């Protein structure tokens, strides 16, 4: 029989699939790789033997990632996106409740429930930082905490001292650095030394969302334990080959495109703040959270009519009338700015 008790509390993960000319809803890298690099990557796929199972250890990809991030291979475990790794963490680290600061990335809550654990969702403070007073009241109930660093969808970095304070209470911390390349701040040094800290990274926000490759960084002892539950062939042969090639061949290109996005983020922030009634929240990621005077679902719909897709995040706590826009190519950002002005003018 289907476990109704567990499933009634869950629903299928929804993402934004509406067709629009300018899509700024999923925090992907807005720039494509140069055609010749993509062709060469695809040619390499030709040569992999699709008939065979992939390398269960994804050895070459792991080498490329270790080199790209700058950590030893033995401290890495790969997942089918960091989403898979979030599942693994919820399943094997700790057994008590799970601390989740909200609003944040929905997968922490979903994984916590799937693992049959009790979520402790603690509201952030008015600056979207961890609220220590509220946190104190649940610390005895939890032994695992998730932090999106920077936080999706608010875009800020939580204070390191506050995260450390939680860890000092004997709580294991999983620091999700999906947007690391746009923020530059990291817990990797701690994840390489401490048994109560892991870091998550992903290729999704630096141009390879379609490949589904996530990275967990931790001490050998933790990697060895999580390896026990990892699905044997979780990274497809195609993803292994393409990601390895792109990380080696297009490393500088990725860096350059990330810098371009950061530059555009600053410009977009400035331009958006100039629009009457728009409140912009400073971001360390590749997206920007903003609030308008109107119901977010209305703004969202009106923008779709203008062929622009952003994410309505107003269903989350503390984010009344808020939307999230991914930083796009310069021309897409201009298109978005123009349409946002028009829509707010009209409402």
Ligand X SMILES: *Cc1c(COP(=O)(O)O)cnc(C)c1O
Near ligand X in 166-185, by CB under 6 A: 176, 178
Among 90, 111, 152, 239, indicate the residue that binds ligand X (CB under 6 A): 152
Of 142 and 215, nearer to ligand X (C-beta) is 215
Of 82 and 292, nearer to ligand X (C-beta) is 82
Residue 312 binds ligand X, judged by CB under 6 A? no
Query: CB under 6 A: which stretch of 80-88, 89-97, 269-277, 330-338 binds ligand X?
Result: 80-88
Beta-carbon contacts of 234 under 8 Å, excluding residues fewer than 6 positions away, are 78, 79, 80, 84
Residue 286 binds ligand X, judged by CB under 6 A? no
The dihedral formed by the CA atoms of 143, 144, 150 and 152, expressed in degrees to the nearest 10: -120
Residue 277 CB, nearest approach to ligand X (Å) = 27
Residue 111 binds ligand X, judged by CB under 6 A? no
Residue 196 CB, nearest approach to ligand X (Å) = 20
Of 78 and 344, nearer to ligand X (C-beta) is 78
Beta-carbon contacts of 307 under 8 Å, excluding residues fewer than 6 positions away, are 20, 21, 22, 339
Query: CB under 6 A: which stretch of 59-67, 75-83, 87-95, 216-224 binds ligand X?
Result: 75-83
Cis peptide bond upstream of 150, omega within 30:
yes
Near ligand X in 192-211, by CB under 6 A: 202, 204-205, 209
Residue 81 binds ligand X, judged by CB under 6 A? yes
Among 25, 75, 82, 240, indicate the residue that binds ligand X (CB under 6 A): 82
Residue 178 CB, nearest approach to ligand X (Å) = 4
- Give me the 21-50 binding string for ligand X, x by CB under 6 A, dash otherwise: ------x-----------------------
- Count interface residues toward ligand X (CB under 6 A): 14
Asked if residue 82 lies in contact with residue 234, where contact means CB atoms within 8 angstroms, the answer is: no
Residue 214 CB, nearest approach to ligand X (Å) = 4
Residue 5 CB, nearest approach to ligand X (Å) = 27
Residue 148 binds ligand X, judged by CB under 6 A? yes
Residue 326 CB, nearest approach to ligand X (Å) = 10
Instruction: Report the interface residues with ligand X, using CB under 6 A.
Output: 27, 81-83, 105, 148, 152, 176, 178, 202, 204-205, 209, 214
């Amino acid at each position: 029989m289907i476990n109704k008790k567990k499933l009634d509390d869950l629903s299928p993960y929804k993402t934004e699939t509406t067709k629009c000319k300018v899509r700024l809803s999923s925090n992907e890298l807005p720039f494509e790789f140069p055609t010749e690099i993509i062709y060469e990557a695809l040619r390499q796929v030709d040569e992999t033997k699709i008939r065979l199972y992939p390398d269960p250890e994804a050895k070459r990809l792991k080498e490329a990632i270790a080199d790209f991030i700058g950590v030893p291979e033995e401290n890495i475990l790969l997942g089918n996106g960091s989403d898979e790794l979030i599942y693994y963490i919820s399943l094997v680290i700790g057994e008590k409740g799970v601390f989740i600061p909200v609003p944040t990335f929905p997968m922490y809550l979903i994984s916590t429930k799937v693992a049959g654990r009790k979520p402790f969702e603690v509201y952030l403070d008015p600056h979207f930082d961890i609220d220590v007073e509220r946190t104190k009241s649940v610390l005895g109930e939890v032994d695992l905490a998730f932090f999106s660093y920077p936080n999706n969808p608010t875009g800020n970095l939580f204070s390191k001292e506050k995260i450390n304070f939680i860890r000092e209470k004997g709580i294991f911390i999983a620091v999700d650095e999906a947007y690391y390349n746009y923020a530059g701040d990291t817990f990797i040094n701690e994840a390489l030394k401490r048994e109560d800290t892991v870091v998550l990274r992903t290729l999704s926000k630096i141009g390879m969302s379609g490949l589904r490759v996530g990275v967990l960084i931790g001490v050998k002892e933790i990697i060895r334990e999580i390896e026990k539950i990892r699905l044997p062939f979780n990274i497809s042969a195609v993803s292994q080959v393409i990601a390895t090639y792109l990380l080696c061949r297009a490393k500088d290109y990725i860096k350059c495109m990330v810098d371009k996005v950061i530059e555009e983020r600053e410009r977009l922030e400035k331009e958006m703040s100039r629009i009457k009634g728009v409140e912009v929240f400073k971001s360390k990621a590749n997206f920007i959270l903003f609030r308008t005077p109107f119901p977010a679902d209305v703004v969202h719909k009106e923008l779709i009519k203008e062929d622009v897709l952003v994410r309505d995040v107003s269903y989350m706590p503390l984010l009344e009338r808020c939307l999230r826009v991914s930083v796009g190519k310069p021309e897409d950002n201009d298109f978005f700015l123009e349409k946002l002005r028009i829509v707010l003018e009209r409402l």
